[in-house]
Structure 1
Amino acid sequence: MTKSEEYDDIPGTIVFDADRSRQGYHLNMFCISLREQKNRDAFTADASAYLDKYPMTPEQRQAVLDQEWNLMLELGGNIYYTSKLAAYHGINFQELAGIMTGMGSTDYRAMMLAGGRSIEGNRNKKEWEDK
């Protein structure tokens, strides 16, 4: 991302905006392709050859192969598209959120049932640095 936005200061949050949309177009098209069985089969048979169909950056491609979920979002992935890749790997959305937050799915579920992440200490990245 080249320009800075006010929302870049929200800790633990990657905002999917127009710039990220452009940056992640091919990554997202790959992920959404996995909704079709024939594409999942092709990816399973030869992941490298299947990924060659999508002109992602080398960093995006490696993030896919390494299942680096947060990095995919930083590189333009949309959570709803990347969740298709997670589903391919047998990871449901709650488990994915648990992985991405580092909490695990049980603690993530409990946090959400309790009303979500507290705003206290989470307003900006400086508050995280002060912890």
Structure 2
Amino acid sequence: MTRVTDVASYLAEFDDIPGTRVFIAKRARAGYHLNQFAMSLMKPENRERFKADERAYLDEWPMSEEQKEALLARDYNRLLDLGGNVYFLAKVFSTDGLSFVQAVSTMTGMSVEEYQAMMVAGGRSPEGARSIKDKT
């Protein structure tokens, strides 16, 4: 078993996976309030308050302005970059009346049909998508 001695370098390697945001502790800390907001949408009364005035509801949460703007824009990839966890963000998808497949397809640049067909066929091929820095 190889022992990791430089944790920062080890974790930085996760940022080199194309199209993937690994939910490490640093992201979890950055997204704590964002994810707590998303979980609040499990309650019907909170969903109604959010739908009635999204900005006012978001302003009740100690999130960064960047997180709030990404939520308002439904920029899910940016939300992942800012510490969002896709399973918590699913509460936002659901509040918007979107299925998981519909919402996640927007994150890929594919239509719902293209995304669904790719997943049924076994998912995205790892060939040619192994490293951002090496572009291979």
Same fold (TM over 0.5): yes
Instruction: Name the SS for the 2:22 alignment partner.
Output: coil
Look up the match of 2:111: 104
CA distance in 2, matches of 1:46, 1:127: 44
Total equivalences in the alignment: 127
Verify: 1:114 aligned to 2:121, yes or no: yes
Q: Does 1:95 align with 2:111?
A: no
Q: Which amino acid counterpart does residue 64 of structure 2 have in structure 1? A: T
Q: Which residue of structure 2 aligns with residue 18 of structure 1?
A: 25
TM-score between the two structures when normalised by the length of structure 2: 0.88
Aligned equivalent of 1:28, options 28, 35, 44: 35
Cα distance, 1:48 vs. partner? 2.0
CA distance in 1, matches of 2:96, 2:104: 14
CA deviation vs aligned residue, 1:99-130 (integer Å, no higher than 9, x gap): 100112111111111111111111111454x7
Shift of 1:7: 1.1
Q: If you compute each CA radius of gyration, which structure gives the higher value, 1 or 2? A: 2
Residue number among 79, 92, 98 corresponding to 2:86 in the alignment: 79
Any conservation in 2 of the 1:31–1:85 contact (CA below 8 Å)?
yes
Q: Output one character per residue of 1:8-62: Cα deviation in whole Å (capped at 9) or x when no partner.
A: 1000111111000000001101111111100011112222221122100000000
Q: Which ranges of structure 1 fall in alignment gaps of 5 or more residues? A: none
Q: 2:61 aligned with 1:54, yes or no?
A: yes
Identity among equivalent positions (%) equals 50
Tell me the TM-score normalized by structure 1.
0.91
Contact 1:121 1:127 in 2 (8 A): no
SS in 2 for 1:125: coil
Of 110, 124, 127 in structure 1, the residue corresponding to residue 131 of structure 2 is 124
**2:113, 2:39 → 1: CA distance?**
27
Partner of 1:44: 51
Contact kept in structure 2, 1:83 and 1:93, CA below 8 Å: yes
